[in-house]
Structure 1
Amino acid sequence: MANLLEQLKQQSTVVADTGDLDAIRRFAPQDATTNPSLILKAVQSGKYDAQVQAILHEVRDHAGTLDEAVDEACDRLVVAMGAMILEHVPGRVSTEVNARLSFDTKASLAKARRLVELYEQAGITRDRILIKLASTWEGIRAAEELEREGIECNLTLIFNFAQARACAEAGAFLISPFVGRILDWYRKADATQDYAPVDEPGVQSVQRIYRYFRRLEYPTVVMGASFRNVGEILALAGCDRLTISPGLLEELAAAEGTLDTVLADSGEREPRPAALSEAQFRWELNEDAMATEKLAEGIRGFEADQLKLEALLREQLASIQRSGSNSSGARA
């Protein structure tokens, strides 16, 4: 009998939630997704020092101020990591726009276009990339414009049904509703409450979104994310895609048993309502304390790791610049 991971791959597209090439090679997912936290972890591992140094030397010679050089280095680094990942997956890689731009549609568009430009310069076509944006009202509007330009998007940090609905109405290619972080909030609110995986609020949220999208025939892909245990994953078998960390991929690969399909298109259909207005979206999000808190926390967390990555690159770039200045002085 095939292990649970192999059975899961027959029901859902499995995506690796990691920037670790060793894990990607081992588990052979269809796609991979990254974020600032995963990129920072990969850089801190020391496995990619040669690539980092090459990028820093490139931007040193072409960028303006130190801040501009660091920003350009970050963009080139995430694209370089994405390009390496694409050598080991047959599908796509998701590359994230800076979290600090989550409330700025214009800046998000500029950053997304720059990332796509860098990928294309590296010979990677748009059909292998997903631009990842936070599911704020501004992020969703940026995705709507990018989709019209042929740049497909992954809308992340989804904790609320209104976020998911607005993404589908905007024509987003894919959404990433979070599971484990929702459970975290409810456990913090009531540590005595125990949930079976199928009863977890995060699992039920993804199930609701999936079934709504199918009934209303939205083509937007639903990709469950942020899992805390294997049970959550099994409770979403049949979801379009599932992005899973290496540790949980390991558990699935080691587990035997029969995996039943949980999510499937029932064939039921209903007409689509009028699209959510900005006021409706903001009100529904405001009324959901969990979603409001977890969205803000998620944006802050990604930005914190982005700042750590920038600080690391700034220090290394400044060292390279000092070394170059000393070499020039010595030659003079």
Structure 2
Amino acid sequence: MKTLTLPGTDISAPNVVLGLMRIQDKTDDEVRALVHAARDAGIDFVDHADIYGSTLHGCEERFAEAMALTPSERDALTIQTKCGIVKDEGYFDFSYEHITSSVEGSLRALRTDRIDILLLHRPDALVEPEEVARAFDELHAAGKVRAFGVSNHTPRQIDLLKKHVTQPIVANQLQLSITHAPLVAQGVAANMLAEDQSVVRDGGGIVDYCRLHDITVQAWSPFQAGFFTGVLLGNPDYAELNAVIDRLAARYDVPPIAVATAWITRHPAQMQVVLGTTTPQRVTDAALGSDLPLTRAEWYELFRTAGHIVP
């Protein structure tokens, strides 16, 4: 498993992460089997959010109940969670009160004394960055949160936060797969007036911005064909792409899902892939793409057969 040190922190992290948004209804044995498969593959980083599950903090609580981590087992894991979405009411909230109360709820649910990384989940149009800064300062000073980041944020939204927030923004979790890749594809087709791919949709070069500012991109839904429209692997709508994936899987002697993982981890931005599966074998198989050495030609062939323009 390839690892990286998250810029601005002392956190050593794998480039494949276990996302736990779907474990609410899993048994203790099922949760443990999933986490143990990840650990066996070298994944010691888990991703949560306060809204994951059928109840607030539901998946965080389910994880803690099932794992019953000892202090040493807790120390061996990097636990990331998110806040800012008020799901039942249908709005976003980056107020000081919401951020701090959400963290307290996550700490109780996870049965831990600190969150390693806290992400602001989706941009709040009513954000007051001074409020975010006050919450971050207090949480960091109290040792309740070690590092901070964002999710689904544009460069300018991050700049607005950074005007007041003193802690480094260490991560930005964004949707990215071979087929859902506007944040990569736009730059390839820049200055092509007639092509939809050239349209800027992420606020202007979010991947390049993150590289320039030492922010780790975390790719969520790495196997989704579109925005929750089904997986790309084995999808007849992407027959040409899957033929290439299958050929490369045979060449490297890995499952196809490892090739889809590798398309992201091959990028020099040192991205992390956030797995959302609850099937232990899929975790094991996907993790094999962590350091798969796709060539430039192979990476672009996957990109092109996914339907993106390579001028």
Q: Compute the TM-score of the two structures, normalised by the length of structure 2.
A: 0.49
TM score, norm. by length of structure 1 = 0.46
**Between Structure 1 and Structure 2, which shows a larger proportion of helix residues?**
1
User: Which structure has the higher relative contact order (CA within 8 Å, separation 6+)?
Assistant: 1
Flag the structure with higher strand content: 2
Give the number of the structure whose alpha-carbon radius of gyration is greater: 1
